[in-house]
Amino acid sequence: MRYAETGYNLEIDLSRGNIERVETDPSLTDLHLGGQGANAKILWDRVPPEVEPSSPNNLLVFSAGLLCGTPVPGVTRTSVNTFSPQTNFFSHSTMGGFFAPELKHAGYDRIVIRGKAPSLVYLWINNDKVEIRDATHLRGKGVTETAALIREELKEPKAQVAAIGLAGENRVYTSSIGHGWSSAARGPGPVMGDKRLKAIAVRGTKDINIARPAELFEMCLRLAKEIYENPNVGDVMAVNEDDSFHHDNFAWGNARVRRKGYWTKELEERWRKLKYDHMDRQTGCYNCPKKCITVISYPGRKRFGYKCYAKDTYHMAAFQELDFSYEILGIAQEYGLDSYSTPQVIAFALELYEAGILTDQDLPGMPSDVRGRFYYLMEKIVHREGIGDVLANGVYWAARQIGKGAEAYDHNTTKKLEQIPIKLGRLNPLYFLMTATGEKMATTQIEGSFPQDPLPTREEREEFVRNWEAVPNDKLKQIFLEWEKRHEMAVEASCLICDWNEMMHYVDDAIGMCGFLSSFSGQHAGRPAYHINNLPYIISLATGMDLDKDGLWEIATRNRNLVRAINVRRGLRRKDERPPEDHWRVRDHEFEQKLLDAYYEFKGWTNDGIPTKKTLDKLGLNYVSEDFLRRGILTGNEGAPSKQTSSEKGDELKSRGC
């Protein structure tokens, strides 16, 4: 009997219209848990690097995290992975809501989709009955509109639906897959559109087996109470009305300058009133006591929901107030546009217009007011009309297609993907490493276990570490005690913290845990409900696996190195690992290279950022090292005996910390 997982995948070939229920190998769970970890193994095995993202042979994989559908509170995440047409790399994306637990209750751990349908279709999964259905009548419909129409058509109001809007249908690179008020962005949206798959609807009523149900349920009751009652657990940014951090340190707008001092108590009060005057409710995801999602009913607009700083990106990009986000967000979400990248693309276009690189000939009928310009450009992008056909490919590609000096205005991309437009003074060593080396392409999906800023006094820091249950070892406690300035962090400390941050996210993405209860909770001195010290026991209760902290860390390390290897096989090298030029006003190239050297050594990678044979084989990834040797990516001579190897240096660093 399989515990916590169903043991079955749903294999869909849209080209042939073929549907198969396939039993999975239990070793996949032992080695990778589930979620993104299992998806990475599937993509490594079945999509060689020669396959283009737009090829029918590219896969789109929806995977429920290992613990989704169990009683564990806050485990909701669906990992959606493929190869992104924007980057040609592994596309990491997760979404919350109810989709993953519903998929488990339908009897499947994941859906593996290949091929391209001859016309627009949607997938209907109703326990053992699975159909590919015509969706031509849904062409051009919005994300929530599509979900409502499908539920009505199926006469199944409890069906959970993940859908693309018009942006996804038109393969806009910044499109996303929407599910309720959650979305899977940065890669899978245009691939789903390219496969002509409008939506997936799921209804499940089957039981999920638990290894030790009584003990797990008792623990979950305690955890649910702790999460509900503790204000420091969960998405503190969703309930905190002081939004000065985002406005003082980020610069989404086309002027590309920080608005330090923009935030005032008067502005905070005005925006608080705007929010609560139009707030429909606050809600959350499946089996989670937190209510991190704010649902807004704004006059003349469809109801929409947001979490964290998603509400900020449009009004900050346009240098407007919160009411502009409330005007435009509902429209953007219906189109299925990612609120992380799309505002930057629009701001980039306006910057080119102001510089004379784009002209009235490129933008006929451009409105004179900034709000009108945002709507104008959004429509152009969504429909891939005129210059919108170029902008729909994201800032990196648009800059190079437009030319005429547009490349100089590509301020915020790394590895061809838009990053958070940070505007700070001096380089932050930890954030340099996370932004430069992360496979997930978005720093928000890497950071979080270690606080973002030091506490001002030694006494406050001592009080913080006294009850710091989440920390994996005392070395990290000592680093925090001695840390006084954000930008002053030793190289070794930066490596240790970056590794811990990454490992927790890779754990979360494998089991389906919401980062706001785990890997992201330490961000603002919060106290996570879940961490490296209690998750092994929780996983063991649910699955029956014999797992401790070291074993869980090893699985996360394996998943992280496998994703790295996937990207290396597609061409990722050291030259690609550099944050945007203007993230920090003061840069130090020599120090940055020293950081990369140290981190590569710590991870057991070559000087070009490639996992060594020793590292791969130690993690049971022998098939990866063999592939690398065949392709000439590795020679077998990395780390000559005459000097300490990268892997050995990494082991030495780990022995002093992690």
391 and 461 within one domain: no
CA distances 403 to 352, 357, 598, Å, are 11, 8, 37
Q: pLDDT tens across 58-99, in order?
A: 999 999 999 999 999 999 999 999 999 999 999 999 999 999
pLDDT at 66: 98
567 and 509 within one domain: yes
Task: Say if 410 falls within a structural domain.
Answer: no
Count the alpha carbons within 13 Å of 414 in the hemisphere toward its beta carbon: 26
What is the C-alpha to C-alpha distance for residues 33 and 625, in angstroms, rounded to an integer?
21
What is the C-alpha to C-alpha distance for residues 421 and 405, in angstroms, rounded to an integer?
20
pLDDT at 342: 96
User: In terms of residue numbers, what domain contains 589?
Assistant: 424-656
**Domain final residue pick, 405, 433, 454:** 405
279 and 151 within one domain: no
Would you say residue 582 has pLDDT above 90?
no
328 and 390 within one domain: yes
Q: How many domains does the chain have?
A: 3
What is the C-alpha to C-alpha distance for residues 441 and 607, in angstroms, rounded to an integer?
20
**In contact, 416 and 442? CB cutoff 8 Å:** no
Task: Say if 417 falls within a structural domain.
Answer: no
pLDDT bucket at 360, cuts 50 / 70 / 90: very high
Q: Which amino acid is at 565?
A: A
**Pairing label, strands 417-418, 413-414:** antiparallel
DSSP letter string over 411-480? Answer: -SEETTEE---B-EEE--HHHHHHHHH-TTS-GGGT--SS-SS--SSHHHHHHHHHT-TT-SSHHHHHHH
pLDDT at 643: 43
181 and 277 within one domain: no
Cα torsion through 517, 519, 525, 530, rounded to 10: 50
CA distances 148 to 161, 180, 283, Å, are 9, 10, 19
**In contact, 358 and 402? CB cutoff 8 Å:** yes
Would you say residue 235 has pLDDT above 60?
no
> DSSP character for 576?
G
What is the C-alpha to C-alpha distance for residues 63 and 66, in angstroms, rounded to an integer?
9
165 and 59 within one domain: yes
Rama region for 180: left / alpha / beta (φ>0; ψ in -120 to 50; rest)? left
Q: pLDDT tens across 113-166, in order?
A: 999 999 999 999 999 999 999 999 999 999 999 999 999 999 999 999 999 999
Which residues is 458 bridged to in the sheet?
A: none
Cα torsion through 479, 485, 488, 492, rounded to 10: 10
388 and 432 within one domain: no
Task: Say if 321 falls within a structural domain.
Answer: yes
pLDDT at 236: 55
**In contact, 252 and 344? CB cutoff 8 Å:** yes
pLDDT bucket at 656, cuts 50 / 70 / 90: very low
Task: Say if 97 falls within a structural domain.
Answer: yes
Backbone angles phi, psi at 134, to 5 degrees: -65, 135
Q: pLDDT tens across 521-559, in order?
A: 765 555 789 999 999 999 999 999 999 999 999 999 999
CATH number for the domain harbouring residue 354? 1.10.569.10
* Alpha helical stretches, state H, 585-642: 589-603, 613-618, 622-631
pLDDT at 259: 62
245 and 292 within one domain: yes
> DSSP character for 88?
S
What is the C-alpha to C-alpha distance for residues 358 and 351, in angstroms, rounded to an integer?
9
**Domain final residue pick, 405, 434, 451:** 405
> DSSP character for 18?
E
CATH number for the domain harbouring residue 163? 3.60.9.10
Backbone angles phi, psi at 404, to 5 degrees: 55, 30
Task: Say if 161 falls within a structural domain.
Answer: yes
Would you say residue 572 has pLDDT above 90?
yes
Would you say residue 246 has pLDDT above 90?
no
DSSP letter string over 159-201? Answer: -EEEE--HHHHTT-TTB-EEETTEEE-SSHHHHHHHTTEEEEE
pLDDT bucket at 243, cuts 50 / 70 / 90: confident
Task: List the one residue out of 222, 271, 245, 250 whose CA is nearest residue 525.
Answer: 245
Cα torsion through 461, 462, 467, 473, rounded to 10: 90
pLDDT at 522: 63
**Block residue for tokens 């219906």:** 334
Task: Say if 479 falls within a structural domain.
Answer: yes
Would you say residue 401 has pLDDT above 70?
yes
Q: pLDDT tens across 194-233, in order?
A: 999 999 999 999 999 999 999 999 999 999 998 888 766 6
Backbone angles phi, psi at 515, to 5 degrees: -60, -25
379 and 330 within one domain: yes
Average pLDDT over residues 183-187: 93
CATH number for the domain harbouring residue 503? 1.10.599.10
Task: Say if 221 falls within a structural domain.
Answer: no
149 and 87 within one domain: yes
**In contact, 66 and 512? CB cutoff 8 Å:** yes
Greatest mean pLDDT range, 104-113, 267-276, 436-445, 463-472: 104-113
Q: What is the CA radius of gyration of the chain?
A: 24
* Encoded tokens for 571: 């061409």
pTM beyond 0.85, yes or no = yes
| Residues contacting 334, CB < 8 A, separation 6+ | 142, 143, 144, 145, 165, 302
Which range, of 142-156, 390-404, 419-433, 554-568, averages the lowest pLDDT? 419-433
305 and 344 within one domain: yes
Q: pLDDT tens across 36-56, in order?
A: 999 999 999 999 999 999 999
* Encoded tokens for 466: 């006294």
pLDDT bucket at 239, cuts 50 / 70 / 90: low
313 and 444 within one domain: no
Angle between helices 549-569 and 491-511 (to 10 degrees): 90
Cβ-based neighbour number of residue 119 at 10 Å = 9
* Long-range residue pairs from 154-158, CB within 8 A, at least 24 positions apart, any chain: 154/124, 154/126, 154/201, 156/126, 156/201, 156/203, 158/203
Task: Say if 418 falls within a structural domain.
Answer: no
Would you say residue 654 has pLDDT above 80?
no
**Domain final residue pick, 405, 438, 471:** 405
Would you say residue 655 has pLDDT above 50?
no
